[in-house]
Amino acid sequence: MKKFLSLMLALIMVLCAVPALADVAADIEAGQAMTHEELVEKALAESGTFVAYGTTSRIKKAAAAFSEKYGIPQNSNNMKDIDIYDKIANENVDMVMIQDGAQLLGAIEHGILANFVPASVKDSISEHDQYPLAHQFTNKVFIYNVLGDDVPAIRNVWELTDPAMKDRIIFKKPTDEQVNMNFLVMLTSPEWSARLEEAYKEWKGENIDLGSYKTAGHKWIAEFLPNCVFGKSDTNIAEEISQETAEGKIGLFVLSKLRSSSVYAENLMPAQYAASAEGYEIKPFAGFMYPIYNMISTNANRPYTAMLFIEYLMSEEGFSFWSDSIGAYSGNSAIPEKEGDLPLSVWKDTLVVEDPEYILEYGLDVEDFVGPYLQ
């Protein structure tokens, strides 16, 4: 009887949910082929408050400007990706700006989120960045304090595994922000392990001895993390490393934090900036990079508004809320990086970019492996 009841309940839930999912999916299908004007018309015909959540704080400014432009009431907020998923599970959300591609692929697979590429900008987004749609890229790079005699101007990431670097590296705890963990996971991939092996040889002049480690990525993680101190937030790390009293320190944090007035930016140097200026390469990477994706929630009340907002965000006008500082790169290749910053193509070559498929497959094992090194 109990089984029968729960079966019936599940059936009812599925029957109730399917039309909503199908509706939004059909709307997106139709929306992909629409012009800007058609999207506007459809969006204005929708009712209720447009709800958008994002992992970037500037979504609030962008949504407010969008709301003013089209006269659509909005409720937007900045929250962590995990809280965004909780929100979607419990209430109607229209659109999200979210990071952690692996978790996102799972959500798409379960029909929680759906991908949409606006026809008006499709041609200027690389095919790879269209699914899931990357709105922008954020880079976390090695940045060091330039004061004192012992400046950690690294040229090879294996230098960071040296016992002499103990407590000199500041990083955000990988379990506090999944993209940091994703970076570590990526290092165990065949591609990055091979590059790390090569870099090791260059550094030590001999072949790497993996010992009990599965890959060079595992070895690097195991020797890098014990040298780290974990900061509270990227802003906090930037502020702390920029202090006069922080000579000899190096951090791995968001490049755009250099813009903040609470940071003594003149005391800091992104390792890749130095490398580009002096014409050397940091072996084999200068940090990591991850996209922030634009997605439509399948329980959206205003799916066309969500599509219009995504189109807006992918435009130069919509990206203006991020483009005023270094460290933000639009997925739309027609929008250039901020003057004084390096172009996205350079960063893509020098940074570890997350591969959601690989993380989905091997992430759990690597996370377990990382655990003891966080203690």
* Residue 91 sits in the site that holds other proteins (CB under 8 A): yes
How many positions of this chain bind other proteins (CB under 8 A)? 59
* Nearer residue to other proteins within complex by CB, 91 or 317: 91
Region binding other proteins by CB under 8 A among candidate stretches 32-40, 64-72, 207-215, 367-375:
367-375
Residue type, 220: W
* Nearer residue to other proteins within complex by CB, 139 or 256: 256
Diameter over CA atoms, the chain: 76
* Residue 77 sits in the site that holds other proteins (CB under 8 A): yes
- The count of other CB atoms within 10 Å of the CB of residue 45 is 10
* Nearer residue to other proteins within complex by CB, 153 or 374: 374
Euclidean distance between CA atoms 302 and 210, whole angstroms: 54
Each residue 40-59 as x (binds other proteins by CB under 8 A) or -, in order, gives: -----------------x--
Q: How far is the CB of 314 from other proteins (least distance, A)?
A: 23
Q: How far is the CB of 61 from other proteins (least distance, A)?
A: 9
Q: How far is the CB of 106 from other proteins (least distance, A)?
A: 6
Using CB under 8 A, pick the residue from 30, 32, 106, 198 that binds other proteins: 106
Euclidean distance between CA atoms 255 and 235, whole angstroms: 10
* Residue 178 sits in the site that holds other proteins (CB under 8 A): yes
- 55: nearest Cα among 85, 87, 97: 97
Whether the link from the prior residue into 336 is cis, omega within 30° of 0, is no
Euclidean distance between CA atoms 129 and 114, whole angstroms: 15
Region binding other proteins by CB under 8 A among candidate stretches 120-128, 186-194, 272-280, 364-372:
364-372
* Nearer residue to other proteins within complex by CB, 113 or 314: 113
Region binding other proteins by CB under 8 A among candidate stretches 23-31, 64-72, 125-133, 236-244:
236-244
Buried b (16+ CB within 10 A) or exposed e, 76-115: beeebbeebbebbeeeebbbbbbbbbbbbbebbeebbbbb
* Nearer residue to other proteins within complex by CB, 246 or 289: 246
According to DSSP, the residues that pair with 136 across neighbouring strands are 292, 330
* Residue 323 sits in the site that holds other proteins (CB under 8 A): no
Region binding other proteins by CB under 8 A among candidate stretches 135-143, 147-155, 188-196, 244-252:
244-252
* Residue 207 sits in the site that holds other proteins (CB under 8 A): no
Q: Specify the DSSP class assigned to residue 265.
A: G
Each residue 216-235 as x (binds other proteins by CB under 8 A) or -, in order, gives: -------------xxxxxxx
- 283: nearest Cα among 189, 191, 197, 166: 197
Residue in the block written with tokens 């590296």? 169
* Nearer residue to other proteins within complex by CB, 154 or 170: 170
* DSSP string for residues in 163-229: GGGTTTEEEE-TTTSHHHHHHHHHHTSHHHHHHHHHHHHHHHSS----TT-SSHHHHHHHHHGGGEE
Whether the link from the prior residue into 284 is cis, omega within 30° of 0, is yes
* Residue 355 sits in the site that holds other proteins (CB under 8 A): no
Q: Specify the DSSP class assigned to residue 162.
A: S
* Residue 325 sits in the site that holds other proteins (CB under 8 A): yes
Euclidean distance between CA atoms 28 and 26, whole angstroms: 5
Q: How far is the CB of 36 from other proteins (least distance, A)?
A: 28
Residues that bind other proteins (CB under 8 A): 57, 75-80, 82-83, 85-86, 89-91, 103, 106-107, 110, 112, 167, 170, 173, 175-176, 178, 229-236, 238-241, 243, 245-246, 249, 257, 259-264, 325, 360, 363-364, 367-369, 371-372, 374-375
